[in-house]
């Protein structure tokens, strides 16, 4: 490098912001459903590896994918929906627990149910990612959920 130039080793983490390079870079969050709570109702998904993770305020949803870590099973006709706080099926409409759509190997990334819609509106609050079990409890199942969005 020429004198007075700056290399990546000199940059502090996050010192080059999206606004400085491109304001609309697609980003993907990785959530985890651990399968501990199998009863019906909404489950707040955690950050893969532990801790909390939220979809940022004003995020424009683009796509999602589900990576099955343990196959979902149910003693009844359970359905799974993906969404966010206030919109239970805002990412994926209720789908049978054993449907091939609940496997990244089968479908890859899919457009979200609210594609192009802002989560909570521009300037709204960040939202939790939810997996909602309905119809019947599940008896097994774990997965990663990937949600791709663009910051508004």
Sign for the pseudo-dihedral over CA of 40, 75, 109, 117: negative
Q: Does 121 have pLDDT greater than 70?
A: no
**Cα-Cα-Cα-Cα dihedral sign, residues 82, 83, 89, 90:** negative
Q: What pLDDT does 104 receive?
A: 63
Express as a percent the part of the chain with pLDDT over 90.
40
Strand partners, 104: none
DSSP string for 95-129: EETT-TTS-HHHH-SEE-TTTT-BTT-TT---EEE
Q: Read off the pLDDT of residues 3-15 as tens digits, 9 standing for 90 and up.
A: 677 777 777 766 6
pTM, entire model: 0.80
d(CA 31, CA 45): 6
Percent of the chain with pLDDT over 70: 78
Confidence band (pLDDT; 50, 70, 90) for 72? very high
What is the mean predicted confidence (pLDDT) over 45-68? 89
22 pLDDT above the threshold of 50: yes
Q: Note the pLDDT of residue 122.
A: 41
Which residue matches tokens 């457009």? 111
DSSP 17: -
For tokens 């990334």, the residue is 109
């Amino acid at each position: 490098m020429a004198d007075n130039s700056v290399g990546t080793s000199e940059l502090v983490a996050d010192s080059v912001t999206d606004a400085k390079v491109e304001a609309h870079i697609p980003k993907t969050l990785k959530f985890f459903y651990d399968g501990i709570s199998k009863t019906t109702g909404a489950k707040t998904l955690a950050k893969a590896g532990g801790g909390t993770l939220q979809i940022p305020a004003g995020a424009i949803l683009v796509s999602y994918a589900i990576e099955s870590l343990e196959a979902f099973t149910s003693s009844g006709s359970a359905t799974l929906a993906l969404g966010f706080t206030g919109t239970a099926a805002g990412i994926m409409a209720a789908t049978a627990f054993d449907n091939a759509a609940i496997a990244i190997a089968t479908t890859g990334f899919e457009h979200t149910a609210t594609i192009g819609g802002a989560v909570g509106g521009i300037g709204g609050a960040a939202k939790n990612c939810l997996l909602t079990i309905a119809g019947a409890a599940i008896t097994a199942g774990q997965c990663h959920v990937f949600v791709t969005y663009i910051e508004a």
